[in-house]
Structures are given as C-alpha cells and as structure tokens.
Amino acid sequence: QVQLVESGGGLVQAGGSLRLSCTASGRTFSGDTMGWFRQAPGKEREFVAGINWSGVNTRYADSVKGRFTISRDNAKNTVYLQMSSLKLEDTAVYYCAAGLMTGIWASRTQYDNWGQGTQVTVSS
C-alpha cells in the first residue's frame, strides 16, 4: 500500500519557523517529483514547492520564495519543507504529493499520490 505521511505541523507565532516532513512507504519514490501543496479554509489547494527526483531542481510559489526551502533524502524516502519567516497567511493544511513527470509541475493533476495533510497555524 502506497502511503505518504506528513508530520511537523503545529502552532507557531508569526516570524517563526517549522519544518515539515513527508515519509513515503509502499514503494520507492526516488524517481518521483515531490511537491508540497496547501489548502486554507474556503480556498483552493495551491502549489507551494516542488523538487525533482534528484533534488537538483526546485520550484516555489511566489508567495513563499525566499522563505521556504524544499529538500529530499531519497535514502530515507523523505521530503522536507523548511518554513521560515512564517506569516498569518501561511496558515493552512499542508499536503505532500508525489508524481512521475518531466520537470516540476504546479498542477495538482500531475501528482497521483497524496498524504492526509498536516495543519500549520500561524498566530499573531
């Protein structure tokens, strides 16, 4: 059974940091592009960051560029999202996703494995 499990979410003050982790099981994901998406209440799920299979190439939403960093450890089947300088508007459920693709796509439809999500709440 293929599973993606996110962890590391929580409550943090504005300006603070959190690191999310996503561990995959059921098969190797070393060939997949991995992505982080988020969904705030009443809003569409949106792309946050993505990383290609080797970890060499990354892509970020403009809203998080310079504040978030995505990385991966294929030996551990794990992808990370380091979030710094958090803002109130970063509050959302964060989802990890995996997909086989060329490049790093921001479209949800390119990812066919999803985690259950982890809540990140930024307070003032």
pLDDT at residue 2 greater than cutoff 90: no
* pLDDT 10s digits, 11-42: 999 999 999 999 999 888 889 999 999 999 99
pLDDT at residue 1 greater than cutoff 80: no
CB 24 within 8 A of CB 3: yes
Phi, psi of 89 (to 5 degrees): -75, -5
* pLDDT 10s digits, 62-96: 999 999 999 999 999 999 999 999 999 999 999 99
Averaged over 95-102, what is the pLDDT? 94
Apex CA 113: angle with CA 110 and CA 115, to 5°?
125
